């Protein structure tokens, strides 16, 4: 298990440049800028690139941050998006990620490790740091995640691994609460 010390800071105007650094010139993947679950497919496609970037910059100006930028020794190395389930209307319509019950949750929807830091085993440390941040700042006490669980011997691709890998969530103390598809568990963590 990786024992790297990761700190997180909320996405605000002050951390925007660090967020851009993590997202890279493509805005994460294909101009997403982490707006995939927050918009309809039509809105997302219309905003692809600069529009999605402007929409996320607007969210960064809100009182409640849309996620956190993660750091190792003050170097921005990752991003994690989260929010109330209602912040993600597209996710609520998804057969894989729609609500499984009425329990209030913080939906952890996207993990992105910056190029050059991938395959370093940082995901579990990132998830733990995010949960520690939420334990101090969030009123809702349950975090819910929607990772992929690749078949043995296979790797998840960048398009379907954006929600994280199940083994990293298990290593961070999450438990499976549902499985809408063989490779897609729904997992939860109690912030107590």
Which is more confidently placed, 30 or 138?
A: 138
Contact 192, 141 (CB under 8 A): yes
Contact 105, 140 (CB under 8 A): yes
Which tokens hold the place of 86?
């209602």
Contact 182, 131 (CB under 8 A): no
Question: Residue 95: what pLDDT?
Answer: 82
Question: Residue 158: what pLDDT?
Answer: 55
Task: Give the 3-state secondary structure of residue 8.
Answer: strand
**Among 88, 136, 135, 137, which Cα is nearest to 108's?**
88
Contact 1, 128 (CB under 8 A): no
Query: Rg of the Cα trace of the chain?
Result: 15
Contact 188, 174 (CB under 8 A): yes
Contact 171, 180 (CB under 8 A): no
| Residue 94 to residue 152: CA distance in whole angstroms | 25
**Among 121, 109, 88, 128, which Cα is nearest to 28's?**
109
Whether the model pTM is above 0.75: yes
- pLDDT greater than 70 at residue 159: no
Question: Residue 1: what pLDDT?
Answer: 45
- pLDDT greater than 60 at residue 30: yes
| Residue 99 to residue 108: CA distance in whole angstroms | 13
**Which superfamily is assigned to 7-190 in CATH?**
Gcn5-related N-acetyltransferase (GNAT) (3.40.630.30)
Mean pLDDT of 126-147: 96
Provide, rounded to the nearest whole percent, the portion of the chain with pLDDT above 70: 94
């Amino acid at each position: 298990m990786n024992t790297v010390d990761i700190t997180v800071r909320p996405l605000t105007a002050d951390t925007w440049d660090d967020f851009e650094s993590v997202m890279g010139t493509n805005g994460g993947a294909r101009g997403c800028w982490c707006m995939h679950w927050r918009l309809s497919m039509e809105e997302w496609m219309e905003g692809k690139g600069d529009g999605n970037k402007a929409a996320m910059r607007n969210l960064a100006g809100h009182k409640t941050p849309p996620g956190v930028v993660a750091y190792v020794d003050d170097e921005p190395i990752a991003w994690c998006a989260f929010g109330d389930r209602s912040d993600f209307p597209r996710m609520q319509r998804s057969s894989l990620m729609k609500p499984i019950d009425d329990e209030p949750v913080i939906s952890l929807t996207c993990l992105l490790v910056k190029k050059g830091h991938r395959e370093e085993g940082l995901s579990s440390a990132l998830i733990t740091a995010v949960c520690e941040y939420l334990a101090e700042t969030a009123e809702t006490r349950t975090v819910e995640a929607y990772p992929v669980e690749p078949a043995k011997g296979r790797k998840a691709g960048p398009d379907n691994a954006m929600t994280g890998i199940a083994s990293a969530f298990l290593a961070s103390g999450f438990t499976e609460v549902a499985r809408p598809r063989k490779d897609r568990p729904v997992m939860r963590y109690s912030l107590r």
